[in-house]
Copies of this chain bind each other. A is one copy, B any other.
């Protein structure tokens, strides 16, 4: 299909049609992936049938199997996309290698934005990890762990430079993942806790204030004056 796009100018009618078809095909494929993500997020791999997904996008399951060779392959494609999004929110620390406070603030804000903007991605990831990551541990080991180790190394360097107190960077990162992702994965329970059916901007802000405050108090040598604003009620 690419060839229709790379032709420089003066597309003939059937070439235009080729492009249009290709775009429509691309669109349906994306719709399927989005619907699959939503359902896998809710019920996990085993709890979803191709029929469910097909009905969600208004197609037949046979049509769905025309775009994806099998249910497992569709799931893998979803997981791959989820990991892309997950990792894209994880590079805040390396962006500000000389300013621990701002780096930490932006890392936490970014991870909470991920929970807010991509809750289904977060839940698909959570479902897969709770299951022991049977189809995905290799990709996690290759893509997630190096990113984490880079972040841990940054903490260690800050500690050496006297910019922050020595902490166990691995457990700190685990705590940051857990306490930010929970606002996507456990949204239903947090809604019960806060007495509302859906989390709002102010809830994410309150979470951000608390987490930032706790982490800065723990890792910074000097507690910033602004830190206490985070725990006001």
Q: Which residues of A contact B (CB under 8 A)?
A: 41-48, 123, 126-127, 129-133, 137, 140-141, 144-145, 148, 165-168, 170-175, 177-179, 181-183, 185-186, 188-190, 192-194, 206-207, 209-211, 213-215, 217-218, 231-233
Contact = CB atoms under 8 A, between A and B. Distances in A.
A2 B148 CA distance: 57
Given A141-B192, A174-B186, A210-B218, 5 more contacts: A41-B130, A145-B193, A166-B233, A174-B190, A177-B182
Contacts of A232: 166
A145 to B, nearest CB: 6
Dominant SS among interface residues on chain A: helix
Contacts of A126: 126, 130, 185
B178 A182 contact: yes
Contacts of A189: 129, 133, 140, 144
Work out how many copies of this chain go into the complex: 2
B42 A43 contact: no
A213 to B, nearest CB: 6
Nearest to A211: B175
A174 B207 contact: yes
A215 B133 CA distance: 31
A116 to B, nearest CB: 15
A2 to B, nearest CB: 37
Given A44-B44, A145-B193, A188 B132 contact: yes
Nearest to A178: B182
A129 B186 contact: yes
B127 A130 contact: yes
A179 B173 contact: no
Nearest to A132: B188
B192 A145 contact: yes
